[in-house]
Chain A
């Protein structure tokens, strides 16, 4: 069934959009990521402009994160204190990111910056997670218990608070800074940032793996909402119809994803996520380096998305 998308200004098959949303939702539930890092490139592949793909991505991520968050909330896997700190930082970052996005679009460099950001972040995060996943799998066989977290320079920072759910006594600065960075990423790349936030929470803040996914999803809801609003106001690139169709699929997919994710061992889950992250990053890097079919691109001069 063909449906006209009013902001993307093109017709697309509604069924394909539902299935696409479902597939991304499944992965999002499994790994606790917003799924935006898959959705944005897929939408661009479908012919949606990078601008609308990013703006609509922020909208979709809200929906797919709500169901995931509620599923984790019921299991008591959300640290609301750290979530609130990350969200506060995210509000500022998301707004700044949407403004930077507008500047880049006017300069004709949005596609490049979006792709390059993907390549850099996905490669770095994928490698870190992959190495850690392998190490954790090997260590499990030798030692029965791991230390809760390592002590680093992070623990020398001021403004320390006690976070009961995570059983941590750490500075409030790293979660806030992490949120700010996530906000910028959310607005420029159209991602929730879970693929970056999850490892940062584990390795930088030292949160227990059990609460990381739920807490990151909660922060993603807040950050994506602010980012979505900033894009709607600054760039007019949020397509409600496209977003809702993808969201319906994503919400259903995420429910199954959460169930599947619960049955897989945490370090294996991280290993799988690392592989997926590296695959998307590699594909994007390839498209940047390989000679394009047509080196020319045509766009309206004034900022219609």
Chain B
């Protein structure tokens, strides 16, 4: 019973922080009634990508009830991906080999309070697929005599270059012994869809508590309308595109004739 008032205070502070950050409702604070020794809240749960979107970062606040380490993973929407390899033939570099992978997350980052290997046993890291290097990339089909690991490495390299994966865990700052925060960086070309944020509280190599939060990244405003228009009403979109181009050309010609 000695624990409860402390947790309530922490939850209140957490709720206030979240509220100040993005006007998140107090629903998180209600979770304080549960027995879980870990709590998390995101500064925002929904991101709209509009025409001025150039990347953003969101803040994750959390509180723990016991001293321990925290590991946070953010996993973007999954889709099958094909990795192709060029080979030189007759002097020209041509896509010759390919491997398709099932359920590749479009975004994946990890944050940890200490180096992952010091917090969690290797076997558990693999099982929980913690760290982009440990993502399970299952082969659907392949057209190569070579090793799938080369293609996996290439996939990681590309995603890391585009800031969509990071192999080095981000830092988790502890504000005091119980309160922590971390920043989740989302680049300009972050894929749209449903994201899962998972936080683990680890004490002595054992996961004491797991919390998840959902983050949704959607195309918003004008650009979302255009995207939907282009997919759902293809023929009309094509006609509008032609009409706009014709008008743009005609207006330009007209303006210059006057001038």
| A interface with B by C-beta (< 8 Å) | 2-7, 9-11, 59-60, 62-67, 70-71, 74, 108-109, 111-112, 116, 221, 225, 228-233, 236, 238, 240-241, 243-244, 247-248, 251-252, 254-255, 288-289, 291-292, 294-302
Contacts and interface: CB of A to CB of B under 8 A. Distances in A.
Contact of B244 (A5, A233, A240, A288): A240
Q: What interface size band does chain B fall in?
A: 35 or more
Given A6-B223, A112-B95, A229 B242 contact: yes
Nearest to A237: B230
A229 B231 contact: no
Interface in B24-67: 49-55
B225 to A, nearest CB: 8
A71 B235 contact: no
B88 to A, nearest CB: 7
The interface residues of chain A, by DSSP majority, are classed as: helix
Nearest to A295: B86
B248 A63 contact: yes
A4 B238 contact: no
A238 B234 CA distance: 10
A248 B249 CA distance: 8
A3 B223 CA distance: 10
B212 to A, nearest CB: 26
Nearest to B155: A298
Contacts of B230: 6-7, 232, 236, 238, 240
Interface stretch (B74-82, B118-126, B169-177): B74-82
Nearest to A62: B245
Contact of A228 (B80, B98, B238, B257): B238
Contact of A59 (B241, B252, B256): B241
A62 B238 contact: no
Contacts, number: 191
Nearest to A119: B92
Contacts of A4: 49-54, 188, 223
A66 B84 contact: no
Contacts of A241: 51, 223, 226
Contacts of A116: 92
Given A241-B226, A288-B93, 12 more contacts: A2-B52, A4-B53, A7-B226, A66-B250, A70-B250, A228-B245, A236-B230, A247-B249, A248-B252, A292-B86, A295-B87, A296-B84
Contact of A62 (B81, B159, B246): B246
A67 B50 CA distance: 31
B101 to A, nearest CB: 8
Interface in B228-243: 230-231, 234-235, 237-242
B81 A300 contact: yes
Contact of B79 (A64, A67, A300): A300
B134 interface: no
B158 interface: yes
B234 A236 contact: yes
Contacts of B52: 2-4
Contacts of A62: 242, 245-246, 249
